[in-house]
Structure 1
């Protein structure tokens, strides 16, 4: 199977365009998830497994909603609207456990799996396949594109992660419980994830040869 070469610059340009395509669900996701994170921190429920599961499930619902909207805007979505929540939940469990294990095993395997499965969610929604098929298809589409996909992921995720790490290490401990600080940090964290969902769709579009043309047309329109 011929695999198109992904251009990181074009993918990032498309990601910026996509951020303007579905602002309502993205802003709703940001507000709800950051609010729940902040309430969890304020109430001291961070160690509660039940709260973590609820926030995780809501995050998957928002990711599915946003991915559907973006794929529809790019005319890359399946005719019946894409996969269900249960499919994306199954994908999240399968890939999440494998990636977590990879990070436990000296980090590098986790990074490798994250890159190779970066297209799994858009594939699941657009091509209406199961979780394991989406993971295999993502693996195939990222063959020969590891560098550009990794670069795109680093550029999108690194600033937010760096800010969170810096705040954790540098801010006085009493500041970490100050409500405005909690709000800002949770907004940064959730915004990073949401931009990452847009990036995944842009990567999927790139694998179909859609990214450069659409991004440039939208940017200079």
Structure 2
């Protein structure tokens, strides 16, 4: 993505590519949302904790992997599948999540910076098969000069995630129990935000370091 393009032009490119990726992965998106929302609401409805919450975490990781791999296929179709596997996905998720969370908790600004600079991380790790550490370096280097458009495109999924957490925090009772309607809205917002952020991240990768022929067409 050319830094000489205006911020508005680059935002438009990212949004268009993210929509293309999401629509190409529509079936998996629907499955992901249905499974994750239904499972999370079921746990909330039974006021389960401990083992049930751990189960949701494991399910979220597994479904997130299938969602991401499906979207990766829309970015770089490969009959043999993407080069990077579950281990790479898990490593990227764990390390990036920890780094962003730590940055947000400690000083906020570093967390936001990491969220922006690591947006295309899965593309470098799963499409390029660069490895976990190399993917971090590639993502950081590739997003240089593009922070503003990336930040703008991530506003909506970030607000959806924060809003869902806010509903759990402010609308639960004294024992942390949340009503089913609120749980449905909160979980739909949370997992829809995940879908959007994943599509946006891979769109950024596609525009910055995707298949050459496609980039030449976009920026011709």
Could you say which TM-score interval applies, normalised by the shorter chain? 0.7 to 0.9
Q: Counterpart of 1:125?
A: 126
TM-score, normalisation: structure 2: 0.80
The whole-number CA distance in structure 1 between the counterparts of 2:141 and 2:77 is 18
The whole-number CA distance in structure 2 between the counterparts of 1:90 and 1:163 is 25
Q: Counterpart of 1:114?
A: 115
Quickly say closer, same or farther: Cα 1:149–1:77, change in 2 above 3 A: farther
Q: Counterpart of 1:135?
A: 136
Unaligned runs of 5+ in 2: none
Unaligned runs of 5+ in 1: 215-221
Q: Counterpart of 2:181?
A: 180
Q: Counterpart of 1:26?
A: 29
Q: Counterpart of 1:218?
A: none
Q: Counterpart of 1:153?
A: 154
Q: Deviations over 1:16-43 (max 9, x none)?
A: 2222111111111111111221122222
SS in 2 for 1:189: helix
When the two chains are superposed, the root-mean-square deviation of aligned CA atoms in Å is 2.9
User: Is the aligned partner of 1:89 residue 2:93?
Assistant: no
Q: Deviations over 1:157-179 (max 9, x none)?
A: 3255346636854x5859x7332
Measured after TM superposition, the shift of residue 191 of structure 1 is 1.0
Q: Higher relative CO (CA 8 A, sep ≥ 6), structure 1 or 2?
A: 1
Q: Counterpart of 1:37?
A: 40
Measured after TM superposition, the shift of residue 122 of structure 1 is 1.7
Quickly say closer, same or farther: Cα 1:180–1:130, change in 2 above 3 A: same
Quickly say closer, same or farther: Cα 1:172–1:99, change in 2 above 3 A: closer
Q: Counterpart of 1:103?
A: 104
Measured after TM superposition, the shift of residue 142 of structure 1 is 0.7
Measured after TM superposition, the shift of residue 192 of structure 1 is 1.1
Is contact 1:123–1:204 with CA below 8 Å preserved after alignment? yes
User: Is the aligned partner of 1:11 residue 2:14?
Assistant: yes
SS in 1 for 2:47: coil
Is contact 2:73–2:81 with CA below 8 Å preserved after alignment? no
The whole-number CA distance in structure 2 between the counterparts of 1:166 and 1:192 is 15
The whole-number CA distance in structure 1 between the counterparts of 2:136 and 2:179 is 41
Alignment length, in residue pairs? 209
